[in-house]
Structure 1
């Protein structure tokens, strides 16, 4: 099968978990014998067109005028990027037409829809997160409503919609009025072998930071809940003298988080190494005594799989897709979201009981090997492609005209919320 994947991030352009997901999926599909082309954005020093790990990667330079990637010009940046993305993808399709287009999130929706109609092939969309979900069900401003409308349109145009968890399946079908059978959950995966770093490097990190060592890794935005982890540090420091917390990530919330740490007088208790990836992140994860995922909103939580693969016990907020990854007391510990005291108690339980920590890791790794290998995820995704191709042939002539409606108030407020 020939698939064309559209993504706004792909190595070496990496912003968060989406880029890691697309890279692993693309290479796993190629390893399974599929012909995979990824069309993404260009960055300085990267090749414009190359084959890497069996995947053809076409990187698209920005059109002038060049817009900043920030809130003020986000929609203008997105439209300019999509024009360039669509042109490049059509040139690729002139050489070899794909059987299916796979779009990842709203930032590539316009190009994906153009390709679908121009080439007459089915569109599959993976929704990694939603704008309403990031704001706990609300659309507080015009930009948020615009993004929501593009997400709605992308899922309308897609023949199949993939989500990373059952929770996200509920959220997406609720927000975008999708028939339940159009949407299917396929989780993220992890390459366990990539998360076994050099023991000497792990020992060096342990020596550098001391311990006990607690890790957060992710984008520094409000919904990741890092402020709740910082709020828990004074309690943890009293219980565990010498405790260090590593906040590995970048994002718009960084200055506010550093200001919070200063107000709490956390000093050297918190380290800010910036964005870590690959071997560096694996090494720090393996050195940590505990990995914390304190999210307020979390469609899945890829770092939870990665920390497990590195052999690190998990403490996660009881929210979203994290509930499906972590069974409390078996594959990790959960605490009520936005509860620093509960977070501190869960971390203390792991730091104070080595037998518990080892058992949690052992059982979590067994689940990881069974359910979250990229070979399995790629096979399930290829199945979604085949169903999209089948449905496209059957339903193309009967597609209803577009009719978009928004409810007022909290879009996720309902008695049937999971």
Structure 2
């Protein structure tokens, strides 16, 4: 299994997904090796929770992991990741290579071809999707071309929602039977905070009245700007309101400027990144957790917040629309509509009994649909399909020249 993030390196939901999947596969009897990037202080190789973890140290020259140098960083990272993966293959025999997102594509293809193994790819999000269907510059078009290559090269492509199946099939021109929908999961127990931790979270954020929360990367597509724009209405209707924005990202300064512009600095608190110990308590302390994304392939934070016991108000977009049933397991609103967001959150704050009933139904839904063991078993079934199909896939691949990838000019999702 190849991933650019794995604990202790956790940038977003992908790292938590790969960790949970790898350990769940190990628990049901499979031998799993995860090859990932090194983190300061972490061993280069270890066994943890039944998983062999091989970490690739960064090569010089050192490129910062930022947008202007992202492609250079990715190419350098794939060089060291490939060497680490090939070393891991010297002592283990693998049946399948599983790549997570475009950042590990070059290593995944090299490993699959060098070891003559089937390739399975999980595509967690797409570059065009993150930009509402557009590929505005060379960097975006380059990333899309790598995603396209990964999708074509893989024998089986996994996505987390029906929405993502539609998006990936359309963008990468994949046949319907090549793409399987296997949802993300959540370990509900890990998201249950103690009553003492919840009380301390409310004290930390000086919550005298309702507490509204957001958790995630501070980027435009997460829609935090719409939550900020909704705060004046919510504060007028709910005295003592406090809004907590947990996370970090390149959009933070603009969000803080919007808070100053609305004159709500005493109401909105930016916490930065919260640890896996702090975040469940913060979510559990909220009277409503908001997921206002413009683009959301799945919506892992909705499962995590509901597992923590938080009432949900989510944008009815992407995978979120498949998780939350309006008025049953949470409130929904159209994305990019601060007024509708304020109304949805306001319902949860004004009707705590209704909010509690929705939270109970959401918890039952999660237990039924999103347990990791069942998800791991579905992934194993997809591995089996890829292994059985590999001879035909290999023959077709060798018999056809690689066509150049032409990126259309315009909105790819229209």
> If the length of structure 1 is used for normalisation, what is the TM-score?
0.97
**Deviation of the 1:207 alpha carbon:** 2.5
**Deviation of the 1:105 alpha carbon:** 0.5
Matching residue of 1:416: none
Following the alignment from structure 2 to structure 1, what is the Cα–Cα distance between the partners of residues 232 and 200?
26
Matching residue of 1:222: 220
What are the residue-to-residue correspondences of 1:78-89 with 2, within 5 Å?
78-89=74-85
Following the alignment from structure 2 to structure 1, what is the Cα–Cα distance between the partners of residues 53 and 274?
23
**Deviation of the 1:367 alpha carbon:** 0.9
Secondary structure at the residue paired with 1:238? Answer: helix
Determine if the alignment matches structure 1 residue 37 to structure 2 residue 33: yes
Determine if the alignment matches structure 1 residue 77 to structure 2 residue 78: no
Larger displacement relative to structure 2 (355-364 or 201-210): 201-210
Match of 2:97 among 78, 88, 101: 101
Larger displacement relative to structure 2 (320-329 or 267-276): 267-276
Following the alignment from structure 2 to structure 1, what is the Cα–Cα distance between the partners of residues 30 and 171?
33
Determine if the alignment matches structure 1 residue 26 to structure 2 residue 27: no
Following the alignment from structure 1 to structure 2, what is the Cα–Cα distance between the partners of residues 290 and 117?
49
Following the alignment from structure 1 to structure 2, what is the Cα–Cα distance between the partners of residues 335 and 398?
46
Q: Could you give the per-residue CA deviations for residues 331-357 of structure 1, whole angstroms, max 9, x where no partner exists?
A: 111101100000000000001111210
Following the alignment from structure 1 to structure 2, what is the Cα–Cα distance between the partners of residues 256 and 12?
29
Following the alignment from structure 1 to structure 2, what is the Cα–Cα distance between the partners of residues 184 and 125?
10
Secondary structure at the residue paired with 1:203? Answer: helix
Following the alignment from structure 2 to structure 1, what is the Cα–Cα distance between the partners of residues 340 and 401?
49
Unaligned stretches of 5+ residues in structure 2: none
Count residues with an aligned counterpart: 409
Matching residue of 2:196: 200
Matching residue of 1:113: 109
Match of 1:359 among 357, 360, 364: 357
Following the alignment from structure 1 to structure 2, what is the Cα–Cα distance between the partners of residues 359 and 335?
19
**2:105 touches 2:146 (CA, 8 Å); kept in 1?**
yes
Match of 2:121 among 115, 125, 130: 125
**2:317 touches 2:335 (CA, 8 Å); kept in 1?**
yes
Matching residue of 1:412: 413
Q: Considering only aligned residues, what root-mean-square deviation do their CA atoms show, in Å?
A: 0.9
Determine if the alignment matches structure 1 residue 92 to structure 2 residue 93: no
Following the alignment from structure 1 to structure 2, what is the Cα–Cα distance between the partners of residues 196 and 353?
23
Matching residue of 1:246: 244
**2:159 touches 2:181 (CA, 8 Å); kept in 1?**
yes
Unaligned stretches of 5+ residues in structure 1: 414-418
**2:155 touches 2:393 (CA, 8 Å); kept in 1?**
no
Q: Could you give the per-residue CA deviations for residues 61-96 of structure 1, whole angstroms, max 9, x where no partner exists?
A: 111101011111111100000010001000101111
**Deviation of the 1:97 alpha carbon:** 2.1
**Deviation of the 1:408 alpha carbon:** 2.3
Q: Could you give the per-residue CA deviations for residues 366-407 of structure 1, whole angstroms, max 9, x where no partner exists?
A: 110010011111111111111111111333212243223332
**Deviation of the 1:203 alpha carbon:** 1.1
Secondary structure at the residue paired with 1:6? Answer: coil
Matching residue of 1:379: 377
Following the alignment from structure 2 to structure 1, what is the Cα–Cα distance between the partners of residues 285 and 307?
12
**Deviation of the 1:219 alpha carbon:** 0.5
Determine if the alignment matches structure 1 residue 368 to structure 2 residue 366: yes
> If the length of structure 2 is used for normalisation, what is the TM-score?
0.97
**Deviation of the 1:135 alpha carbon:** 0.6
**2:287 touches 2:310 (CA, 8 Å); kept in 1?**
yes
Determine if the alignment matches structure 1 residue 67 to structure 2 residue 66: no
Structure 1 moving runs of 4+ over 6 Å:
none
What are the residue-to-residue correspondences of 1:43-58 with 2, within 5 Å?
43-58=39-54
**Deviation of the 1:307 alpha carbon:** 0.5
Determine if the alignment matches structure 1 residue 338 to structure 2 residue 336: yes
**Deviation of the 1:273 alpha carbon:** 1.1
Matching residue of 1:296: 294
Matching residue of 1:279: 277
**Deviation of the 1:198 alpha carbon:** 1.6
Following the alignment from structure 2 to structure 1, what is the Cα–Cα distance between the partners of residues 93 and 139?
35
**2:119 touches 2:155 (CA, 8 Å); kept in 1?**
yes
